Amino acid sequence: MARNKELNQKIKDERREQILSSALMLFATKGLSATRITDISAAAGISQGLMYHYCKSKEEIFSELIKYALDRMNAACIELEKLPLPPHQKIKMAIEKLLQGFDANKNTSYYYLLILQATVSEAIPREAKEIISQGSSLPYEVIERILIEGQKEGTIKDYDARDLSVVFWTSIKGLALNKAAFGGSYKMPDPRILAGIFLNE
């Protein structure tokens, strides 16, 4: 009895994983609206009707993916800030890790595409919009704080820290979207190019 329940739960969890993973790819490459529920079910290898045992709608899946992406990004930023390193090293490391992540795993760049859609699009469930509007400012704040610290030490260039933080993230996002667009054929540039935007030599 208990055995069966456990097994069923396991199957259910695995299917849900499968669904989320398929949906990520489809949402990223077609957008929420153009992705049909049957696209997701086909990619996950189940019938269309069965989808409704695992989720209420594709909007729900979309929101869940957004939440997951934001949570991970924010957690990583908090970790970064806590590291026992001088600020300019934190910036260097962040850039290296982010670019490596894009090269290693295309899903990473797909998440950026999802976040962009959710930020920019009016055709997105209210829930996803709320998750975004509440959870997307932390990375900017963290980088800004680190840059200000570095400016005090004289290791970071003396432009407006808010501007620098915006350039940091828009450049990263630009590269992520390029990766999502051109995929395997495209390799990330030398991270020192980006680091040079911020660091005094």
60, 132, 188 from 182: Cα distances, Å: 28, 26, 11
Largest CA distance in the chain: 67
Q: How far is the CB of 129 from DNA (least distance, A)?
A: 18
Give the phi and the psi of residue 123 in degrees, each rounded to 5: -95, 55
CB of 68 to DNA, least distance (A): 21
Residues 131-170 that bind a second copy (CB under 8 A): 157, 159-160, 163-164, 166-167, 169-170
**Of the candidate residues 30, 53, 72, 152, the single one contacting a second copy (CB under 8 A):** 30
37 touches DNA by CB under 7 A = yes
Amino acid at site 13: D
Could you count the other beta carbons within 10 Å of the beta carbon of residue 123? Answer: 9
Is 52 a residue that touches DNA (CB under 7 A)? yes
Q: Which residues pair with 199 in a beta bridge?
A: 156
Q: Binding to a second copy (CB under 8 A): which residues in 182-201?
A: 189-190, 192-194, 196-197
- Residue 116 within binding range of a second copy, rule CB under 8 A: yes
Residue type, 55: C
Tell whether residue 53 is a contact of DNA (CB under 7 A): yes
Strands (E), the chain: none
User: How are the residues of the chain apportioned to helix, strand and coil, as percentages rounded to the nearest 5?
Assistant: 80, 0, 20
| Residues found near a second copy in the complex (CB under 8 A) | 28-35, 113, 116-117, 119-123, 157, 159-160, 163-164, 166-167, 169-175, 177-178, 180-181, 189-190, 192-194, 196-197
